[in-house]
Structure 1
């Protein structure tokens, strides 16, 4: 899978949030999730290895893990708790 295809899959997995997935020349991956309304960074995950994310199962696993981390952060935030 090309880096462009990989980025497209990861970024679309987090819609409607804004996700930026970047692949460095050394094939390390950084995924940044932003609030679409405020552009505030909600979560930044760095240091992933693209070689370990080469299958759809591995990508699904990291997406699920990041979604769980986002949910935990939202539950811990007093602002998010008031909005729920």
Structure 2
């Protein structure tokens, strides 16, 4: 890793603003990213665990991680909305 854990966490957490995001990094450099539903509650909207942070050695790799997490978050929202619509139709 070319950044400190604090710098990496700050970059990732701020990339999800205005949503609240919490990034945790273990001593083994395994990362967990939580994106919360809103700023008022602790309801987790999206969770990704076991991200290998040892491979985040360039701006491009960090950008690709963030882009992938945002894509996964968007797909999660689509799936959740679909489940709610299907549930109401039944």
TM range, smaller chain = 0.7 to 0.9
Matched, 1:77 2:52: no
* Total equivalences in the alignment: 81
| Deviation sequence 1:33-66 (CA, Å, 0-9, x none) | 1112443211111111111112111111111111
Matched, 1:9 2:11: yes
| Residue 19 of structure 1, CA deviation | 0.6
Aligned alpha-carbon RMSD (Å): 1.8
2:44 to 32, 41, 44: 41
Q: Unaligned regions of 5+ residues in structure 2, if any? A: 86-90
Alignment TM-score, normalising by the size of structure 1: 0.84
Higher RCO (Cα < 8 Å, 6 or more apart): 2
User: What's the counterpart of residue 54 of structure 1?
Assistant: 57
Which aligned segments of 4 or more residues in structure 1 are displaced greater than 6 angstroms?
none
1:68 to 67, 71, 89: 71
Q: Unaligned regions of 5+ residues in structure 1, if any? A: none
> Which has the greater radius of gyration?
2
Alignment TM-score, normalising by the size of structure 2: 0.79
Secondary structure of the residue aligned to 2:17 is coil
In 1, distance between residues paired with 2:53 and 2:80? 31
